[in-house]
Structure 1
């Protein structure tokens, strides 16, 4: 069971803003230490990354690959702060059924503009101690479920120009994963959806929703994420790409910019020289 829970102050279309989710996907025993080790051993090493655990929210988000011995040491030591992510695991046998349930919940709950799950990628976040995730945004829309432990999560609206400017979108969709114009300010916290995530709670965030997190104790926190490309995100991406390539024509309507950018990408595909920035997004295998 995965259900969207808009707050009493919620305004607008479901899918447009970050939204609380409740679920019962945490009681299956999949995320004990024993099963997490099994999962880590089943994922290709190049799909596993880590970062400095205690980055400040205003710092640049930066991950790196981790060797198997380093991974074992991080995971086994209860005294070590850690931040580990497993990428592209949506079709992993241990987790495929859960990802299919998440995709079905999105498709049945959100309007097609926001919840059409065709291309997606799955991730598992494991953290402990004073681990943080700096302020950043993602290309895909995300459904996150807390499965073990707890985490403080701040999610911000992607529709607030003070938080996400057109310049930030142009930089982000132009290829800069950490847009210079996207800056965290503690004053923004008054605008945040702030959640203390625990098993049974989750969060939906539309594409380009800025967010940051912190883990607060030494029990492992485990969060699963299904990230997907919805039609609206693709329109925003192509309009921002147009603005970056042809800045003197930014005054044109977004619909026209989207159409031109679509034709440009299709032409490059026919020539064989088009490589999507987010090649990790693939169909979910049922």
Structure 2
């Protein structure tokens, strides 16, 4: 399929009207936004010109040779490495991936697009329009980021967590998300969150089949999405369907993420907890159990961040700056 020439009208799904003209993403059940609650969402972004395959191909080509784009051609193995290519080689590979995007196993992932003028404007317009709904319960939205994923089923994004709150919406095709509530410490233990926040690794996070009974399942298509709070465990699959149907051939999804004052407080509490656990073999209280304890931890966590920077030259981890 040559995406620069194909009409995309048969790949788009229907969209429902938003509850407000300024809101692009909203809860499917009409309930108020809850920052700690996984929720099915609806959105009105499917027809946006920046989110169509030809435009996404141009964007990926413009990012060739940078860490902002990763891609894979068919016949790669789970352990295949991403080789560093020259810009010319990368552009050829990306163009080939998009031209054959309907072949099973092709995918392209675009990371941290908020600095691109057009895509950054789309991100800010969307999340700023949602501020009144979000900040009524979760003030201080900041640190917006934008990610996009284009794939031909079947694909798997393994079990993981994110630092940010995440509006994950489907533009084309279908996918399945299995998500655990953010407070589920059986699925995602405190030590795993601490390891991720402090050392930027998921080595302590382990998926096993017994966790499935604790999860929420979402099958979503165009115009639908899922809100995933910070540190909520989740994995994503796209599966082969009826290949005679265009809506199964290509999956395009967008993740719009952000931090708040509360995510910063919890991240700093996790940092201090990791220090207490490692230095004193303590079993500190999980963030969110006591607002008072979390507040008391903030100045100690800030002092720890300053000492790490002054003595070890370590940068402040993402999600712990400001607020």
Structure 1 residue 25 displacement after superposition: 0.9
Q: Which runs of 5+ in 1 are unaligned?
A: none
- The 1-side partners of 2:142 and 2:107 are apart by 29
Match of 2:143 among 95, 103, 119: 119
1:140 partnered with 2:183 = no
3-state SS in 2 of match to 1:246: helix
Match of 2:211 among 188, 191, 210: 188
3-state SS in 2 of match to 1:122: strand
1:41 partnered with 2:61 = yes
Match of 2:274 among 238, 241, 244: 244
Aligned length: 275
Higher relative contact order (CA 8 A, sep 6+): 1
- Could you say which residue in structure 1 is the equivalent of 2:46? 26
Question: Please, what TM-score do these two structures have when normalized by structure 2?
Answer: 0.73
Higher-Rg structure is 2
- Superposed CA RMSD in Å reads 3.4
- Could you say which residue in structure 1 is the equivalent of 2:24? 2
- The 2-side partners of 1:101 and 1:200 are apart by 18
CA contact (8 A) 1:3 1:21 kept: yes
CA contact (8 A) 2:61 2:95 kept: no
* Cα distance change of structure 1 residues 183 and 270 upon mapping to structure 2, 3 Å threshold: closer
* Cα distance change of structure 1 residues 6 and 116 upon mapping to structure 2, 3 Å threshold: farther
Deviation per CA, 1:194-235: give whole Å up to 9, x if none: 222211111211111111111124622111112212222222
* Cα distance change of structure 1 residues 52 and 38 upon mapping to structure 2, 3 Å threshold: closer
- The 1-side partners of 2:208 and 2:316 are apart by 32
- Could you say which residue in structure 2 is the equivalent of 1:128? 152
1:72-91 paired onto structure 2 within 5 Å: 72-77=95-100, 78-91=102-115
- The 2-side partners of 1:55 and 1:187 are apart by 29
CA contact (8 A) 1:109 1:115 kept: no
* Cα distance change of structure 1 residues 74 and 192 upon mapping to structure 2, 3 Å threshold: same
- Could you say which residue in structure 2 is the equivalent of 1:17? 37
Question: Please, what TM-score do these two structures have when normalized by structure 1?
Answer: 0.81
- Could you say which residue in structure 1 is the equivalent of 2:289? none
